[in-house]
Structure 1
Amino acid sequence: MTNRMAGAMASGVVFSVVLLGAAGVGWGQGAKAMYPAMAPIEQYRVASVAEEVALARSAANVAVSRDAEVMVLGSHGYETAAKGTNGFVCLVERSWATNFDDPQFWNPKLRAPHCFNAAAARSVMPAYLKRTELVLSGMPKDQVEARMKEAVATKVIGAPEQGAMCYMMSKQGYLNDSVGHWHPHVMFFLPTTDAASWGANLDGSQVFAAQENPEAVTIFMVPVMTWSDGTMEEMK
């Protein structure tokens, strides 16, 4: 397993990858002070709606993304910028998708294009949208975490539906300071599941797993050979 893969696996790669995860490889104690608080909201925005739509669609190949709904970051949460017809929803996640103890929770550089299928859009994506609404309301991180834990405990946020999955195949993504855009991959969302049941995170395995927190979601990530534009990845 390369350091780059290990770093992304440790971080959960973003909520989906949906949620990035805990600390990544190579982050010392000093790194924890790099992003101590939320930056001005302008730093989390993409230059234009058109640019954000294009970035969101880059999560999946055009056969999927051209007919997907696209959501972009607004003043109070995500807003629909393009209607879809195939059940998929593409959006660009920001840093608050990660686990709450991640030192890059407020990293304004993070851009994580996702394209969720219908099952994931219904059962996984709402947790991230809820986080976004709470963050943009100005609520402190500890209160956002408490609200999310409450939503899980009261089953306002439930388990992923059967068949929930997501594409993350964008060359333009930036998942964190450790791994950049990582590898093109697809993700599968399950209720809390033992990684070993998929053979994930083992030496030589091509399957990686990360546990969401506080959401009861296990993400299984499978790297693929090409980016969404059809070009081959250069393995490092």
Structure 2
Amino acid sequence: MNKTHLTGVCMASLIFAGCSDAPPGARDDRHEPAKSATRAAAADSFHLPRDLEIQLAESALPQHLQERATIYVLDPRKGFEVARAGTNGFHAFLARTGDDAFRGDWPLSAYRDDIIYPVAFDEAGSKANMRVFFDAAELQAKGTPPADLKKLIKERYADGYYKAPDRGGVSYMLSPILRTYIDPEKSGDVETSTNPHIMHYAPNVSNQALGGVKPGINPLTFIIQEGPHGFAVQHLGEKERAAIKNQYAPMLERLCGLNSLWCLPRDGER
């Protein structure tokens, strides 16, 4: 295993109230759908038991927000759909292709089926940052080749199609498990880790201006993705991480039993 780390736009019209006049990702006619057999095979490789997917999505949030949050599940043939409508303005889901797949210049030559990326957004983020995940899921379901999808998403960032949140706010990634790219600005290497953290929207704030530390797992704040889509990241402390792992121990054991790549490294291992 490599050594590693950290849509359906109008389909989710209850969230994306300000849909762009531009055609949503699922309707981009530059990309032909894949053959049905290929689509079915991809769907099988992405399948997780529904209850486990919901639990992973909920685990991104602090406990007091989970019960009344809107939770989504992924239909690999269509994109994300609402599993449970919420009332508190928070939205959570398990991404299987994260927004970090579209960073850096390394080629996205295939869609990984081992990514585990539980993430949640507040109301402001659900109308902005979350849109990238939903577009990606729907375009992937439509059969868009990975390299084409990465190119399209990067173009949309560059031309302002994706907007920053219209106010300050927060994205939660408090789950005890994260399998995604270590340093997506540099390579497509991935790893499985316990990395619960909170990300505050910080558009156009530099790490230097914040007095941020070098990005890594420590309790001090730092900026990632400097620019209009920047975040100020703060990791939980060691005791808090241990408590979250303990709280979700049965979920983690179940995941590990499904796929050895989803087994957390033992203490002291990376």
In structure 2, relative to structure 1, the CA distance for the partners of 1:178 and 1:154 (3 Å cut) is closer
Contact kept? 1:68, 1:87, Cα under 8 Å: yes
Counterpart in the other structure of 1:89: 91
Contact kept? 1:166, 1:186, Cα under 8 Å: yes
Alpha-carbon distance between aligned partners in 2 of 1:114 and 1:126, rounded to the nearest angstrom: 13
Normalized per residue, the structure richer in helix is 2
> Higher relative contact order at CA 8 Å, sep ≥6: structure 1 or structure 2?
1
Alpha-carbon distance between aligned partners in 2 of 1:207 and 1:168, rounded to the nearest angstrom: 15
Alpha-carbon distance between aligned partners in 1 of 2:67 and 2:156, rounded to the nearest angstrom: 33
TM-score normalised by the chain length of structure 1: 0.71
In structure 2, relative to structure 1, the CA distance for the partners of 1:96 and 1:178 (3 Å cut) is closer
Give the AA of the match of 1:224.
Answer: L
Counterpart in the other structure of 1:209: 223
Identity of aligned residues (%): 23
Contact kept? 1:61, 1:230, Cα under 8 Å: no
Q: Is 2:54 the counterpart of 1:53?
A: yes
Contact kept? 2:72, 2:84, Cα under 8 Å: yes
Give the AA of the match of 2:79.
Answer: G
In structure 2, relative to structure 1, the CA distance for the partners of 1:186 and 1:158 (3 Å cut) is same
Give the AA of the match of 2:151.
Answer: A
Give the AA of the match of 1:79.
Answer: E
Residues 59-84 of structure 1: CA deviation (Å, up to 9, x unaligned) = 12221111100011112110000010
Return the offset for 1:171: 1.4
- After TM superposition, the structure 1 stretch with the greater mean CA deviation from structure 2, 171-180 or 88-97, is 171-180
Where in structure 2 are the equivalents of 1:91-130 lying within 5 Å? Answer: 91-100=93-102, 101=105, 106-130=111-135
Residues 21-58 of structure 1: CA deviation (Å, up to 9, x unaligned) = xxxxxxxxxxxxxxxxx983322231x22211111001
In structure 2, relative to structure 1, the CA distance for the partners of 1:150 and 1:172 (3 Å cut) is closer
Structure 1: give runs of 5+ residues left out of the alignment: 14-37
Q: Paired residues, what number? A: 200
Counterpart in the other structure of 1:191: 203
Alpha-carbon distance between aligned partners in 2 of 1:103 and 1:144, rounded to the nearest angstrom: 11
SS at match of 2:177: coil
Return the offset for 1:168: 1.0
TM-score normalised by the chain length of structure 2: 0.63
Counterpart in the other structure of 2:78: 76
Structure 2: give runs of 5+ residues left out of the alignment: 7-38, 182-188, 248-265
SS at match of 1:193: coil
- After TM superposition, the structure 1 stretch with the greater mean CA deviation from structure 2, 173-182 or 161-170, is 173-182
Q: 1:218 aligns with which of 230, 237, 241?
A: 230
Counterpart in the other structure of 1:157: 162
SS at match of 2:231: strand
Return the offset for 1:192: 3.6
SS at match of 2:179: coil
Residues 126-156 of structure 1: CA deviation (Å, up to 9, x unaligned) = 1121122112211112322333244335533
Counterpart in the other structure of 1:133: 138
